[in-house]
């Protein structure tokens, strides 16, 4: 550092003399002034991985109780009380864990660990809807990712770390905020091991993905590319600790009922068979266990990191009827709003509702199939509604049956 007033040295970056700046640092082949040092420091903070580091995690002041979370879910999701309760407890404990880790750092030695959840249920029973609904009320970042696009590192597809990239985006690249978020991984059954025996060949979209997910689920510091995987190889990684990120996984696990039936030995005959526990063969999914998950193709390590396994019931006729009309965003309410926006009042006869539900049950489409059936019924009417002079439109069973006869 030179003395003030000496003008023999100048800053290599800005060109100012030593007597024009607070102080000057001498290097091997040049000098840099204090103003340029401060400016460079600001640039480094702005480009440091695009993340807002240094911000301390905030305490969650409004803890939503499990009963409140379930009551909110009840407004949008019909049935599935068991899954709702377990989801509500998991989210509530997630809030408590965050606050506990902030307040009780010195602590009494009791470390609260997360309990990731695995939801099993047939298609159209509400797994993704539960995740989307619970995201509306949370004070933490929440993202839904699809496991089907994930591949083992080095292959075409997305790396497992892209899951956390989505969470960072939801948290506006605030690392501290993202580290207390919740991730819903959908279609996790699609990354099951293709063979029950370990193979010397790579299973790039199955077992390899499961092994890569272990460090995320368990809790580890992961290098996350802020702009995605391989398209920006020059980007700096952001370090994200997954210790307090709650993972909720969902999958249909098509055909797992056969595995459950074999384990329960439902075809037992002979002496002692009557003393066995009676099995509800119509709903075998309620007996699902970690053993069945392993037989289906999930590796033991990932099953151990998903300690809570819950199931969703197949929706019966009454539940499907209620889905059409009861929730806040019920399907019929949505179509009524669409026609109302065109100045037309929609009336649907009760027997049309029965026809829609019976068609969905017949084709095993679940709740998701209700919308596709309604689209076929209302398609032509919605085409004509904007230019029609009629102020009302009534759907009868005969009209609906005519629209569905060539499709379902």
Residue-wise pLDDT for 40-72, tens only, equals 887 776 655 444 444 555 666 677 899 999 999
Strands 221-224 and 238-241: antiparallel
CATH of the domain at 345: 1.10.8.60
Q: How many CB atoms lie within 10 A of CB 330?
A: 17
Q: How far apart are CA 177 and CA 102, in angstroms?
A: 13
Does residue 3 have a pLDDT over 50? no
Give the per-residue pLDDT at 276: 53
Angle between helices 317-325 and 368-384 (to 10 degrees): 40
Same domain, 113 and 135: yes
Residue 328 lies in a domain: yes
Choose from 61-65, 101-105, 172-176 the range with maximum mean pLDDT: 172-176
Task: State the residue range of the domain holding 380.
Answer: 323-404
Same domain, 74 and 219: yes
Residue 150 — very low, low, confident or very high, per pLDDT cuts 50/70/90? confident
Give the per-residue pLDDT at 271: 54
Strands 345-348 and 392-395: parallel
Give the per-residue pLDDT at 387: 92
Does residue 147 have a pLDDT over 80? yes
Residue 58 lies in a domain: no
Which tens digits make up the pLDDT trace of 313-346?
888 899 999 999 999 889 999 999 999 999 999 9
Same domain, 43 and 76: no
Does residue 381 have a pLDDT over 80? yes
Residue 54 lies in a domain: no
Q: How far apart are CA 321 and CA 145, in angstroms?
A: 30
Q: How far apart are CA 186 and CA 123, in angstroms?
A: 12
Mean pLDDT score of the chain: 83
The residue ranking higher by pLDDT, 274 or 219, is 219
Handedness of CA 143, 146, 151, 154 (dihedral sign): negative
Give the mean pLDDT of 106-132.
81
Same domain, 262 and 344: no
Residue 192 lies in a domain: yes
* Eight-state DSSP code of residue 62: S
Residue 198 — very low, low, confident or very high, per pLDDT cuts 50/70/90? low
Same domain, 303 and 328: no
CATH of the domain at 246: 3.40.50.300
And the tokens for 253? 């696990």
Same domain, 294 and 204: yes
Same domain, 169 and 204: yes
Residue 249 — very low, low, confident or very high, per pLDDT cuts 50/70/90? very high
Provide the number of structural domains found in the chain. Answer: 3
Indicate the pTM of the whole model.
Answer: 0.74
Residue 318 lies in a domain: no
Residue 252 lies in a domain: yes
Same domain, 328 and 290: no
Give the mean pLDDT of 83-104.
83
Task: Choose one of 311, 338, 368: the last residue of a domain.
Answer: 311
Same domain, 215 and 270: yes
Does residue 103 have a pLDDT over 70? no
Give the per-residue pLDDT at 2: 42
Give the per-residue pLDDT at 69: 92
Which tens digits make up the pLDDT trace of 289-310?
999 999 898 999 999 999 989 8
Task: Choose one of 311, 345, 375: the last residue of a domain.
Answer: 311
Rounded to the nearest 5°, which phi and psi values hold at 245? -90, 125
Residue 88 — very low, low, confident or very high, per pLDDT cuts 50/70/90? very high
Give the per-residue pLDDT at 5: 46
Q: Give the three-state DSSP class for 75.
A: coil
Q: Quick check: 307 and 218 in contact, CB under 8 A?
A: no
Same domain, 25 and 77: no
Q: Which residue from 46, 47, 22 is spatially nearest to 32, judged by alpha carbons?
A: 22
Does residue 203 have a pLDDT over 70? no
Same domain, 35 and 103: no
Residue 149 — very low, low, confident or very high, per pLDDT cuts 50/70/90? confident
Does residue 175 have a pLDDT over 70? yes
Residue 387 lies in a domain: yes
Residue 59 lies in a domain: no
Task: Choose one of 265, 286, 311: the last residue of a domain.
Answer: 311
Q: Quick check: 336 and 324 in contact, CB under 8 A?
A: no
Same domain, 251 and 298: yes
- Could you tell me the maximum CA-CA distance found in the chain, to the nearest angstrom? 106
């Amino acid at each position: 550092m030179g003395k003030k007033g000496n003008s023999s040295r100048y800053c290599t970056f800005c060109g100012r003399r030593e007597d024009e700046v607070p102080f000057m640092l001498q290097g091997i082949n040049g000098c840099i002034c204090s103003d340029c040092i401060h400016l460079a420091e600001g640039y480094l903070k702005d480009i440091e991985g695009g993340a807002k580091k240094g911000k301390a995690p905030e305490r969650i002041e409004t803890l939503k109780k499990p009963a409140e979370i379930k009551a909110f879910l009840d407004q949008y999701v019909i049935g599935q009380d068991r899954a709702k309760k377990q989801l509500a407890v998991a989210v509530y404990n997630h809030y408590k864990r965050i606050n506990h880790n902030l307040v009780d750092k010195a602590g009494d030695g009791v470390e609260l660990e997360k309990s990731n959840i695995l939801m099993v249920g047939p298609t159209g029973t509400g797994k993704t809807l539960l995740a989307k609904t619970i995201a509306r009320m949370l004070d933490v970042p929440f993202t839904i990712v699809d496991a089907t696009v994930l591949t083992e590192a080095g292959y075409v597809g997305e790396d497992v770390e892209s899951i956390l990239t989505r969470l960072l985006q939801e948290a506006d690249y605030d690392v501290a905020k993202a580290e207390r978020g919740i991730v819903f991984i959908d279609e996790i059954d699609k990354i099951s091991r293709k063979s029950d025996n370990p193979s010397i060949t790579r299973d790039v979209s199955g077992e390899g993905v499961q092994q890569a997910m272990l460090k995320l689920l368990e809790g580890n510091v992961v290098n996350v590319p802020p702009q995605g995987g391989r398209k920006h190889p020059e980007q700096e990684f952001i370090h994200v600790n997954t210790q307090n990120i709650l993972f909720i996984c969902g999958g249909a696990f098509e055909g797992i009922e056969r595995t459950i039936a074999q384990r329960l030995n439902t075809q037992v005959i002979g002496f002692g068979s009557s003393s066995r526990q009676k099995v509800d063969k119509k709903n075998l999914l309620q007996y699902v266990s970690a053993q069945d998950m392993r037989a289906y193709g999930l590796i033991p390590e990932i099953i151990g990191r998903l300690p809570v396994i819950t199931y969703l019931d197949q929706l019966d006729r009454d539940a499907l009827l209620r889905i059409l009309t009861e929730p806040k965003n019920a399907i019929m309410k949505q179509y009524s709003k669409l026609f109302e926006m065109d100045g037309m009042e929609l009336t649907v006869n009760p027997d049309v509702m029965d026809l829609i539900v019976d068609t969905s049950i017949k084709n095993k489409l679940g709740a998701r199939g209700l919308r596709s059936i309604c689209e076929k019924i209302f398609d032509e009417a919605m085409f004509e509604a904007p230019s029609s002079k009629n102020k009302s439109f009534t759907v009868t069973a005969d009209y609906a049956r005519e629209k569905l006869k060539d499709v379902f």
